[in-house]
Structure 1
Amino acid sequence: MAVGKTPVSVLQELLSRRGTTPKYELVQIEGAIHEPTFRYRVTVADIVAMGIGRSKKEAKHAAAKAILDKIVVEGTEDGIGNNLIPEMKNEIVSPYDDKIPGNPIGNLQEMCMSRRWPPPSYELVNEEGLPHERLFTIACTVFKQRELGTGKSKKLAKRQAAHKMLEKLQDVQSVPSAMSPGLDDDDDEIAHSVPNGVSRYADLKDSKISTMTSTQSHKVSQFHKNLKMSSGPKLSELQATALNNVEFNYVQLLQEIATEQDFEVTYVDIEEKSIKGKSQCLVQLSTLPVAVCYGTGSNSKEAQSAAAQNALEYLKIMTKK
């Protein structure tokens, strides 16, 4: 098939080999009389796609392109897309005049979803020129990466910005630190990658870390057994408590369990704020081994409560019968 064929002709040829044809329907005309917008619907088997354009021809091509994208990506139960080889995607001419092949906006969205990244965001940053010769600039942002696209319409500018972002990210498999948006939990910061894939903790591999002696291991093992066999009203209350109520007094329950089981609870407020500007706190349980749990909150009290909640989660797991 020769390069340069329109989406309508590519779709027609693809389906004619299977003895079927696409069904096009003009479903809407909107806008001013001198500047109408046409909307076409195309149906192939059980696949339906829409396309819009400033002329019927442009809208029809857009609809054909949309359904070709669906066939390429999804296929259908009767295998209608199975014979559409990948190279055919490059033979499809965009219904827009930007000479960018395919659907960069949709492709960028799919890339972010497949890599479990946040979706791209778009922002109109500039608009200039006479009413009939407008030039739009749209910014596409993924993490901290930002690319600008310009065009005679917002759609064209958005396509160009998405296309540039795709080219930048196509070889990126993990999230470099320069792109990191900050993860959901402050203590997940250590999971961030850094430039050239070199971990900030790479020196640990050469460190000599002392291991426990057999006597120490036995003491820890015995502690876990004793903890497993522990009983008491407050421990029973803990097992029956759902630790997801923001109104619950976790600090009080932890202290009551500590009194019952004869260990001490010590809170250590951290002066520095977290990377999200939150108060931080550590709570230490004088058990063997010592247990230390972390919490954050909008103030010191909330941080202590979060740390106590995490400590209770630990005890709940360790004492479950």
Structure 2
Amino acid sequence: MKMAVAVGKTPVSVLQELLSRRGTTPKYELVQIEGAIHEPTFRYRVTVADVVAMGTGRSKKEAKHAAAKAVLDKLIGSSQEDGSVGTNSTVPEVKAEIISPYDDKIPGNPIGTLQEMCMSRRWPPPGYEMVNEEGLPHERLFTIACVVFKHRETGTGKSKKLAKRQAAHKMWEKLQDSPVMASSVTPGLDEDDEIAHSVANVAARYADLKDSKISTLTTPHSHKVSQFHKNLKLSSGIKLNELQSTSLNNSSFNFVQFLQEIASEQQFEVTYVDIEEKSITGKWQCLVQLSTLPVAVCYGSGNSSKEAQASAAQNALEYLKIMTKK
């Protein structure tokens, strides 16, 4: 019996599916790590019955995929030689290319490398978004965008993994030319280790805070703030009272106008500040400031400047609703 393998599956997943039909599983062994600490090479051995193959890579995952592809080549070659007789009768007829997440010839783990760069520069982590997916089911083409601050790069590939790796690699190359000092990259960083690595970086990033001198609220100012909150709670007005019975979950509601009406009634000013930089997901950002005591600043984001202002106004109304609840 011959079976066709769906296009786009990785060597590891193809091998796993093949052997599960035969009631067995492949055995992977990490046999060697060589090279410098910052640039290691991993070597994996995979065993399937009496068939053994090796694979190397700049990360554990890359080496496992290489080993799985090597053993599949052996199984398929053996199947073709003996006419798919006996134990090899369930070996699939691979008519399409098996896609490895590392077939893009990009060295190492560009996703982990880019994250390392952002951490070392004390930036937020990169954001990824699906931009496009097209083609027939057996010929899919994915496009994924990588966003770091206002920088945006896209990658395209036959799998989401390939597209994401390409986008991350292009972003890393672009940021290398930025004036900020380049980070110490770790090309061999395995994606399985990224979370632990990130935690360590975050801890180091905020270690200096314990020695920082942060201004504290003085007693007289604290009394003023407390009095403001009491006055706000006791305030009344048609619009302010209306706020308590208004649902702020309706996206078609005019939050900006309603906030202005309350501000006019309660005699405080509303100021919107558009942020020039887009968010890491590519959205417009805005701050709204209420000239109350203490000054309240609320954040909003959206697909346009207008939507960002509406979002900020909505959050400001939520704040006032909480503060004036009787």
After TM superposition, the score normalised by the length of structure 1 is: 0.47
Bigger CA radius of gyration = 1
Q: Which has the higher contact order (CA 8 A, sep 6+)?
A: 2
